[in-house]
Every structure is written in structure tokens, then in C-alpha cells.
């Protein structure tokens, strides 16, 4: 069961905090020795570690659409849908207090099914799937949730499959990171993934992926939550 689904509501924020805290808790262990003598506010124990930063990489898009466009499987003017396994990707964006962030901007970019970026400096760009948009952006809704439709990216020399993310809210510091896939043999050797030394933070970069054929035949559903550094603007 994914941690983040369309049906989740703020009423279940406690569930989110508990599940996220298991994966990303910081500070809580250090506070526990005092728990018997102090009444700690819940937020102190529920504080989340910010999602690990990852390099922007050389293929950050040269432009994003003016309007929100979160379907990478349909490029403007394309003759059909992108090749590859369709992924319905969603998640929520939180601040370090566990507050879901409404209106946060989330950008993604990635390779197509063949491991090619839509970028003028990318090698093999002439072989890019013309129907694959390669990048997109959206804003989180009232529950801090974002969603994209994309295809499974491929490994390319030196890298395990991944999706690049930038997420931020007005007045906040944008977070640059990368999302990975579970059970990928190359994950063990990927230098950027393994540059995150903290096991919990590294694990939090790996999406939860499950069958998504209830959404459309042959598709996957992926969940990836993001914790931005800092706190939501008042």
C-alpha cells in the first residue's frame, strides 16, 4: 500500500506523520531520554528530516511550459503516446514540521524509455522518443499532493534509473533531489544514490512502486513524498 494516494485527506495526517516519522525521524531518538520528565509537543517528536539533496545534473530543462503540464507521456504536437511503461506518480510535499504544503511547485525531468534526455546537450537526443515530453511541472493541491503521468526512465552510462525533482514553495529554499526505483540492480552501484550516507535518508529517495493497472492497463503507481528544508510560510 502506498503511503500517498489520491484518497488521503488531512484527517489522516497523523498516519502520514507516523509513517514518515518511521522513515525520516530526526531528533526524536535524542529527545527520548527526557520523555519521562518532560511533556514534549507532538511536533517535536514528529519533526521530519528534509529530503536528501541531489545534484541538479547537466540536463535541467532549458524551459518549462508556461502552464502546468504534468503529463510527460504526451508531448505538444506529438503523434501518439510516449513509449514505455506508464507510471502514475504522486506524492505529497511537507515542511519539516510535517505540514503539507499547498501551492508548492514541483518540477521533474528524466530520460525516455531509451535513456535519452530531452535537452540540447544530451547525447542521442536525435533518437529521443518524439512523443515523450521529458519534463513537466505542477503545483500541490490543498493536501500538499502533486501528481504526474510519465514513463519508466532507463539507466544510462553511470546511472541507475531515476527522476530528477525540484520542489519549493514561495519564499522557501527549493529542494533539488532525485527519485529512484526499488529493486533496481544498479542502485547498489549508483554513486549519487549512495552518496547519501544516512540509510533512512537514502531509503527515502526510493519510491514506493506497485501495480497501477486499476488506473490503466499495464501501468505502475509510484509514490514519492518530499520534505522541504525549513518551515511553511506563516
Strand partners, 71: 149
Least Å distance, CB 162 to Fe ion, is 6
Check if the beta carbon of residue 207 is closer than 8 Å to that of residue 233. no
Three-state DSSP at 230 gives coil
The residue number whose beta carbon is nearest to Fe ion equals 57
Least Å distance, CB 164 to Fe ion, is 6
Least Å distance, CB 159 to Fe ion, is 6
The rounded distance, in Å, linking the Cα atoms of 64 and 122 is 17
57 in contact with Fe ion (CB under 5 A)? yes
Of 57 and 229, CB closest to Fe ion: 57
Of 116 and 221, CB closest to Fe ion: 116
114 in contact with Fe ion (CB under 5 A)? no
Neighbouring residues of 37: CB distance < 8 A, sequence distance ≥ 6: none
Q: For the window 12-51, what string marks contact with Fe ion as x by the rule CB under 5 A?
A: ----------------------------------------
By the criterion CB under 5 A, which residues form the site for Fe ion? 57
Amino acid at each position: 500500500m502506498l503511503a500517498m494516494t489520491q484518497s488521503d485527506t488531512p484527517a489522516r495526517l497523523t498516519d502520514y506523520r507516523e509513517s514518515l516519522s518511521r522513515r525520516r525521524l530526526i531528533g526524536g531518538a535524542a529527545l527520548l531520554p527526557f520523555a519521562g520528565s518532560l511533556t514534549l509537543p507532538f511536533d517535536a517528536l514528529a519533526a521530519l528530516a528534509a529530503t536528501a539533496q541531489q545534484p541538479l545534473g547537466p540536463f535541467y530543462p532549458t524551459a518549462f511550459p508556461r502552464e502546468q503540464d504534468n503529463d510527460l507521456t504526451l508531448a505538444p504536437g506529438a503523434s501518439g503516446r510516449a513509449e514505455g511503461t506508464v507510471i502514475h506518480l504522486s506524492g505529497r510535499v511537507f515542511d519539516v514540521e510535517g505540514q503539507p504544503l499547498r501551492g508548492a511547485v514541483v518540477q521533474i525531468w528524466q530520460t525516455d524509455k531509451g535513456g535519452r534526455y530531452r535537452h540540447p546537450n544530451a547525447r542521442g537526443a536525435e533518437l529521443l522518443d518524439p512523443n515523450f515530453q521529458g519534463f513537466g511541472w505542477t503545483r500541490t493541491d490543498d493536501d500538499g499532493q502533486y501528481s504526474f503521468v510519465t514513463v519508466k526512465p532507463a539507466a544510462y552510462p553511470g546511472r541507475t534509473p531515476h527522476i530528477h525533482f525540484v520542489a519549493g514553495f514561495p519564499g522557501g529554499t527549493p529542494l533539488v533531489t532525485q527519485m529512484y526505483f526499488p529493486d533496481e540492480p544498479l542502485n547498489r552501484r549508483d554513486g549519487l544514490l549512495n552518496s547519501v550516507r544516512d540509510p533512512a535518508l537514502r531509503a527515502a529517495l526510493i519510491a514506493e512502486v506497485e501495480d497501477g493497472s486499476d488506473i490503466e492497463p499495464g501501468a505502475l503507481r509510484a509514490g514519492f513524498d518530499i520534505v522541504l528544508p525549513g518551515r511553511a510560510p506563516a
